[in-house]
Amino acid sequence: MVAVPSKPTKAASADKKIAIVCDWMIGGGAERVVYELHLLYPEAPIYTAYCSPEWKKELEPSRVITSYMQYWPFSKLRKYIPFL
């Protein structure tokens, strides 16, 4: 039986670059998983097509990298989600 550490060791992640990727961050279960991954890997950037202001407050705003869709007019509306 192999024991899995609850937190990644420095030796395991020292030579690797880690990025967290999520399709969009509006609300729900996937966003909570991204948040927990962010707690495990605080130095990792978070790439997403769209991030709601509520989730940007929860995460480090400087680590959240969004697509051009974030800046479209009326981008708070969900009508753009099919373009992902």
| pTM for the structure as a whole | 0.67
CA separation (Å) from 35 to 18, 26, 66, 80?
14, 13, 16, 23
Please state, in angstroms and rounded to a whole number, the distance separating the CA atoms of residues 57 and 80: 22
pLDDT of residue 44: 92
Matching residue, tokens 């024991």:
3
Q: What is the pLDDT along the chain (84 residues), one digit of tens a residue?
A: 555 566 666 655 567 889 999 888 877 788 889 889 989 998 999 998 888 878 778 887 778 888 877 777 765 556 666 766
pLDDT of residue 27: 77
pLDDT of residue 73: 72
pLDDT of residue 1: 55
Q: Where are the domains of the chain?
A: 17-76
